[in-house]
Amino acid sequence: MPQLARALAVALASLMLFSAAPPAEAAKKKATRPAAAQTRQATKPKAKPRARPAAAAGRQAAAAPASKATQLERLYDEYWDASMRLNPLQATFQGDARYNGELPNILSAAWRQQSHDFTTQWLGKVEKIGSSGLQGQDLLSYEIFVRDAKASLAAEQNPAWMLPISQYYNLGSIMAILGAGAGAQPFNTVKDYDDWSRRSLGIPALFEQATANMRQGMTAGVVQPRDLMEKVLPQLDAVIKPTAEESIFWTPIRTMPDTIPAEEKTRISAEYKRMIEFRIMPAYRALRGFIATEYLPATRETAGLGALPNGAAWYAGTLRQATATAQDPAQLHAWGEQRVQALHAQIAAVMKDNKLRGGEAKLLQRMRTDKQFQYTDATALLGRYQQVQQQVAARLPSVLQTLPKAALEIQPVEADRAAASAAASYQPGINGSRPAVLSVNTSNLPARKRWSVPMLYLHEAVPGHHVQLGLQQEIEKLPRFRRLGGDLAFVEGWGLYAESLGEPLGLYADPYDHIGYLQAALTRAVRVVADTGIHAQGWNKKRAVDYLQQNTGMPVDDANAEVERMMAQPGQALSNVLGEAKIVELRDRARQAQGAAFDLRAFHAELLKDGSMPLDILEQRMTRWQAQPGR
């Protein structure tokens, strides 16, 4: 899925109580449709069985788990298709085009009840079969499904539906990106164009429901911070235009494929003009007017969830669901502070060992601005990534014993995507027909620092996402809710852990490369402190911005944007850091238990062999592995 579509899926998951996968980024209910057929045991009384030889009884017992696993596989498959019907937008983001013309009112009380009933129904079906006798991937799939479904139900007690819009999950922007053909909604055939026309019928009702939910939030004292909502108005203003031809929604008409017949082009163009001017634009103007005149005066000056009714429990529950942490926000705040101090000390030690003069702040400022750390041409930047690729390949057997089969290519980001792309990003291969790609952004070369390349390669490529996601892609018979979902704390936690392997791989021999990695780790630790400070310690926005600036030296505009993202997406800053911390904890626990017999490569192979999963499920699985005879 393209980067933009993934970002939109995350935004939508924050609005939905139960996304396409039992909440992995919700990653992401009694249904009104008939329940899927279930395999049931016959209830007819049976004659008392004759005694059987022990071997035959053993064979029957051995066959039972396979039958149970088969039943669950069928249920997971039925569940996935049912969840796509329930969440047509999520289906679109997954590349499933069957429901591209549908847009249910995902903010309504009726939809929330339908979602609740759906989760309850499928959880009941799976738990009725149970986990006894399951092993390996079958047991993991059961544990992950049940865990995530229960977490989704627990999250329903929080009134997230009263906060449907901020600048980071603005329904108006999401609909505009989809309708402009810049996201997951396709515009290649006549059916594609008709699908969007039908889907747009739901936009007015969805926006009206967002308004109604925010009004309920105003009554209940559950409103957004003013700083967030002030930035929503320019987002809506960028979409609202007086004519269809000036609108972003007209883009698919301007770029209509030549394969569409002329008479259809005429019909679609006329229909889209009416749709944009008489359906979509009035809905945007009404939403904009409500936010500007009614909602903004009711917004709050406070920054964190803790300021809302039952906000402390809401935040703690958010952290538990996203990271499976057993620590409360106060403990995580203290842990983050200790981590910040430790990383400052490590940076100071590297500076001392390499006789780098001046304070940490001055050094980091020089690393950001000195031209010696910048690239002068795209070829040199790509060449550096290729050099690191060769260095890692030569030393990788010392830390990894299993690699994905897919080849990895390093390519520059296309010019038309560069402005919205990260410095480096990973795209998995496709079934042996397309290699995996590490996309390197060669635009804005002054921003591509030399010291960042080793760290980014380790995270995005090898041994980071290419290894973890590539191996996961090769797992046979993985249910779609796992194969197409994923746990952010695990996936990004492994990416951060992969960065730390730069030391045993010898990639941080250059002190600036080493300090660049430590500075990135420091920034993430600072985010942990600021996030918990805002939402659980009563910090205001200025205190959080100041803390980021003082500890990382980042410019005030960047620090302000970081804090506003934390305000809009509580706890998101902790997931990847706590994922890395859990992996380190499991590694150290195994090393302590095994002593001289500990093999880092075997630990990594075991950690990665079953794909991503919630951290609590991961810990249970690694504990079972650790307890195996001879381990």
Q: 138 and 230 share a domain?
A: no
Domain boundary among the residues 133, 158, 183 is at 158
How many whole angstroms separate alpha carbon 261 and alpha carbon 110?
41
| pLDDT at residue number 51 | 42
Residues 148 and 244 in one domain: no
Going by the DSSP 8-state scheme, the letter that residue 163 receives in this structure is -
Cis peptide upstream of residue 570 (ω within 30 degrees of 0): no
For position 484, what pLDDT does the model report? 83
- Do 9 and 137 have their domain in common? yes
Instruction: Among 132, 158, 184, identify where a domain stops.
Output: 158
| 355: alpha, beta or left? (left if phi > 0; alpha if psi -120 to 50) | left
Instruction: Give, to the nearest 10 degrees, the angle between helix 54-86 and helix 136-155.
Output: 40
Reading the block at residue 516, the tokens are: 């660049």
Query: Token pair for residue 618?
Result: 């991961």
In this structure, the answer to whether residues 153 and 262 fall within a common structural domain is: no
Q: How far apart are CA 419 and CA 426, in angstroms?
A: 17
CB 181 within 8 A of CB 2: no
Answer whether residue 571 is part of any domain: no
Q: Are residues 7 and 151 in the same domain?
A: yes
Position 562 in a domain: no
Same domain, yes or no: 208 and 277: yes
Q: Give buried/exposed letters for 16-48 (b at 16+ CB in 10 A, else e).
A: bbbbbbbbbbbbbbebeeeebeeeeeeeeeeee
Same domain, 181 and 292: yes
Of 90, 125, 158, which residue is a domain's last?
Answer: 158
Q: What is the pLDDT of residue 236?
A: 95
342 assigned to some structural domain? no
Number of domains in the chain: 2
Residue numbers of the chain with a pLDDT score lower than 50: 1-64
pLDDT value for 486? 81
Q: Is residue 129 domain-shared with residue 175, that is, in the same domain?
A: no
pLDDT attached to residue 630? 65
Whether 212 and 264 map to the same domain: the answer is: yes
Tokens of 465: 């996402």
| 269, two tokens | 């163009």
In a domain, 576, yes or no: no
> Which residues are CB-neighbours of 380 under 8 A, at least 6 positions away?
none
Within-domain flag for 541: no
Whether 537 is covered by a domain: the verdict is: no
Are residue 197 and residue 246 in the same domain, yes or no? yes
Same-domain check for residues 143 and 223: no
Residue 80, in any domain of the structure: yes
Residue-wise pLDDT tens digits, 194-238: 999 999 999 999 999 999 999 999 999 999 999 999 999 999 999
Shared domain for 74 and 147, answered yes or no, is: yes
Q: What is the pLDDT of residues 590-604, one digit of tens each?
A: 999 999 999 999 999
Task: Give the pLDDT confidence score for residue 170 in this predicted structure.
Answer: 85
Which domain does 248 fall in, by range?
Answer: 171-301
Q: What is the pTM of this model?
A: 0.87
Q: Is residue 91 part of a domain?
A: yes
Closest among 213, 121, 160, 124 to 17, alpha carbons compared:
160
